Amino acid sequence: MDIVLEGFDYYIFDKFYASLFPISLNGHLPTSISKNLKLGNYSSTLNDYIQLQKQSSLNDDNEHLIKLTKEYITEKDIYGYFAKFFPENEDMYLSIFSRNHLFREFLSLMIVMTIFGWILYLTCATFSYRYVFDKEIFNHPRYLKNQMSLEIKQAVSAIPIMVLCTVPWFMLDINGYSNLYLNVNETSGAWPYGWKAIFFEYFTFIMFTDCGIYLIHRWLHWPKVYKMFHKPHHKWIVTTPFASHAFNPFDGYFQSVPYHIYPALFPLNKVSYLILFTFVNFWTVMIHDGEYLTNDPVVNGAACHTVHHLYFNYNYGQFTTLWDRLGGSYRKPERELFDKSKKKEKQTWEKQIEKMEKIRNTVEGKNDDRVYGTENFLLKKKK
């Protein structure tokens, strides 16, 4: 995440914070810093800059700052003390909230990750809706009135709160409290690095997080927990791609925790982390798009997740069916789902509803507060 944050600092936030929260003593910078900035010797200002932070008493980590050296900062891979991925610039030294300031890190990450979350969600879901999603699902008897609009509203409002809960994990990462690394050829203890290890990390990340999500997801189906957190996501009995992030925000956060625990325990390349973080969001959209490409017994694809939304207590996994098989919660998707004509038949939907209602009554009780129908624009089009 430090790669992303430094890019935004370089192009946007350095100037933003320098303009709104300028650093100065009696309105002037010390001569040594001013001289170095004019000469373009940005890195040589580090020691003077630390002293200025101490004198101004405006940084929460003053004592910590003085104890740190460049070697220690580099070794611990702590963000913000000097430029690493992008060139240094004058503005990075001109705010009371330096790049490594905890308030600035928190605020910047909140802004970046919220906007990134919205863009990623809306882009992936819109692409899937337009080019993959079978819009015949709008005619399913258990499709809600204006469901897609409700999904988008729920997701867009939940993402900032999910980010709020997640930012502390990112702050731990960029302050050196994780096993994220950049150099592929680094070595650390008994854990091997290198390109072979990179590919191995992808496998272990998927397997570790799949297990973690299975356990958390199954916990979320405990009656009291389900009612408190997970029920809003099961409002969608049949789903569109926009249901992918339409959670209670704390539900969404809980299911993301394994993605942050993994780099806290095991080495993971920083670029791989960004790729996997994006892939996870893309995969979440895919398993809600209702396009059943494969009936693979190992992969927990869209068909398996459709079974989860229809029948509640099955197929809790995210990527594979392994943990559902071990936990006795695997339910094989019906063959009709893979027949393009039969999966849309009224008879198929009626069978689904009959089975679903029995389970729903057990999980949620006889009262169903859902309002079924379709999208308003489809009704207008028919008229």
Q: Give the pLDDT score at 117.
A: 95
| Distance from C-alpha of 318 to C-alpha of 113, rounded to nearest angstrom | 22
Residues near 285 by beta carbon (within 8 Å), at least 6 away in sequence: 121, 124, 125, 128, 241, 244
Q: What is the pLDDT of residues 115-152, one digit of tens each?
A: 999 999 999 999 999 999 988 889 899 999 999 999 99
Q: What is the pLDDT of residues 167-217, one digit of tens each?
A: 999 999 999 899 988 887 765 545 556 777 888 899 999 999 999 999 999
Which residues, in sequence order, are bridge partners of residue 181? 269
SS3 269: strand
| Distance from C-alpha of 117 to C-alpha of 159, rounded to nearest angstrom | 7
Share of the chain above pLDDT 90, in %: 57
| Distance from C-alpha of 90 to C-alpha of 53, rounded to nearest angstrom | 16
Residues near 342 by beta carbon (within 8 Å), at least 6 away in sequence: 336, 348
The model carries a pTM of: 0.83
- Tokens representing 186 are 């680094």
SS3 151: helix
